[in-house]
Amino acid sequence: MTRTKAALLAVALLPATAGAATLGGYDYATQYSFSEFFTATDGKPFRVVVDGNPFPSLPIEDVARRMLPVMQAAKPPPNLTFTYDVPVERPRPDYRMVLVFDPANDLGADPVCQGVSRHRPGTPGKVYVFAVYCRNDQAMSQVTGWTSAGAPDDGNMNDLYRQLFSVLFDRSPGIMPRSDAPFRG
Residue 60 lies in a domain: yes
Which has the closest alpha carbon to 170: 130, 144, 145, 142? 142
Could you give the angle at which helices 155-168 and 60-73 cross, rounded to 10 degrees? 60
91: Cα separation from own chain's centroid: 21
pLDDT of residue 172: 86
Residue 71 lies in a domain: yes
**Cβ neighbour number for residue 154 with a 10 Å cutoff:** 19
Residue 22 lies in a domain: yes
Q: Is 17 left (phi over 0), alpha (psi -120 to 50) or beta?
A: alpha
Element (H, E) at 47: strand 45-51
Residue 181 lies in a domain: no
pLDDT of residue 180: 53
Residue 10 lies in a domain: no
Residue numbers of the domain that contains 121 = 17-165
**Tens digits of pLDDT across the chain (185 residues):** 433 333 333 333 334 434 589 999 999 999 999 999 999 999 999 999 999 999 999 999 999 999 999 999 999 999 999 999 999 998 999 999 999 999 999 999 999 999 999 999 999 999 999 999 999 999 999 999 999 999 999 999 999 999 999 999 999 876 655 555 454 44
Residue 53 lies in a domain: yes
Query: How much is the pTM?
Result: 0.85
Residue 69 lies in a domain: yes
Q: State the total domains in the chain.
A: 1
CA-based R_g, the chain, Å: 18
Residue 9 lies in a domain: no
- Asked if 90 and 47 count as a contact pair (C-beta separation under 8 A), the reply is no
